Amino acid sequence: MAERKVTIGVLGAGHVGAHVAYALGMMGIADVVKICDPKEAKAVSERQDLMDAVYFMPHRVDYQLADYASLADCDIIINAVGDITLCATGSRDDEMHYTVRQVAETIPKVMAGGFDGIFINITNPCDVVTHLIAEKSGLPKGRVFGTGTLLDSSRLISAIAQQTGIEHHSFNAFMMGEHGDRQMIPWSLVNFRGKPLAQMEKDPRFQFDKEAVRTQTIKAGWVTYSGKFCTEYGICSAAATLARAVLHDERKIFPASVPLDGEYGESGIFCGVPALIGKNGVEEVMEYELPADEMAEFKACCETVRANIARAAALLGK
């Protein structure tokens, strides 16, 4: 009997989508990667380039062109539909006028083909679009989630590692809230193999200008964008890592854009918080006790997301 092949669809073959498809091969995650983009010539070119790279991948990967209906047999679809040039203003929210309409059009076409897997969203504004995909797909809770603050958390960890000289995997830190300018750092949860940051601050290496670090983390994406007018490597690695956690039932805790249903006193939105990711998608939202000042920051993030969800609904004429 032939072994079942792991199949992942990538919606959108732009800078991010193409790099996601590449990462899925190079990281040995997928057997089949289906590329779906309305710009047929672009999809054909990306598929050819990716097939040229298969020889250098850890195992054989079959890159295929796909329309919406033929994504039905995918285990996971990674949504990367967007127009990154709209970020030139310095705000991810400015993509909304394009992306929410595209997603509102695209997702019903995918679902009409019979897709019954898991959606991972990259498209910005991430929390808003992830919420819209969940709404338009009708998939059960947990089977739609977004990259959210995972990439931002990587940027935060990099900043801490550079200041302290401690390797990235030797401590825990993450960003919470929207994938945008209002995201926050729960400093109370930063720890070095269980030792809280507050106990390390006698050492100058662990004395952070916390607002400067937050600003550096938030602006890191714009540093990347300013010279190359896109972001690719970090976000494709984040999306591929989440896909691997699902496919291998890793049950790892990652910060991601997930549905809140009472956690942190919030409901009806998707927002970046740590969550347990496994074969069923979001299997548990991790709820941590935050001090009052950090909880207030997080609440402000949620209000921003809620307002943007309302804006998206208005754009769609709801």
Catalytic annotation, residues: 179
Tokens 């732009």 — which residue? 14
**Alpha-carbon span 255 to 18, nearest angstrom:** 23
Locate tokens 């992306």: which residue? 99
* Cα atoms found within 13 Å of the Cα of residue 35, Cβ hemisphere only: 30
Quote the Cα angle for 88-92-98, to 5°: 85
* 126-137 vs 96-112: helix crossing angle, rounded to 10: 30
SS3 209: coil
Q: Where are the beta strands (DSSP E) in 49-139?
A: 62-65, 76-79, 118-121
- In the chain the first and final C-alpha atoms are separated, in Å, by 49
Distinct helix (H) and strand (E) counts, the chain: 8, 11
User: Within a 13 Å sphere around the CA of 171, how many CA atoms are in the beta-carbon half?
Assistant: 27
Using only C-alpha atoms, the chain has a radius of gyration, in whole angstroms, of: 19
Written as one letter, the residue type at 292 is A
Interhelix angle 96-112/292-315, rounded to 10 degrees, is: 70
**Rounded to the nearest 5°, which phi and psi values hold at 221?**
-65, -35
Task: Map residue 34 onto helix, strand or coil.
Answer: strand
Calculate the CA dihedral of residues 104, 273, 34, 29 and round it to 10 degrees.
Answer: -170
Task: State the DSSP H helix or E strand holding residue 196, giving kind and residue range, or none if neither.
Answer: strand 195-196
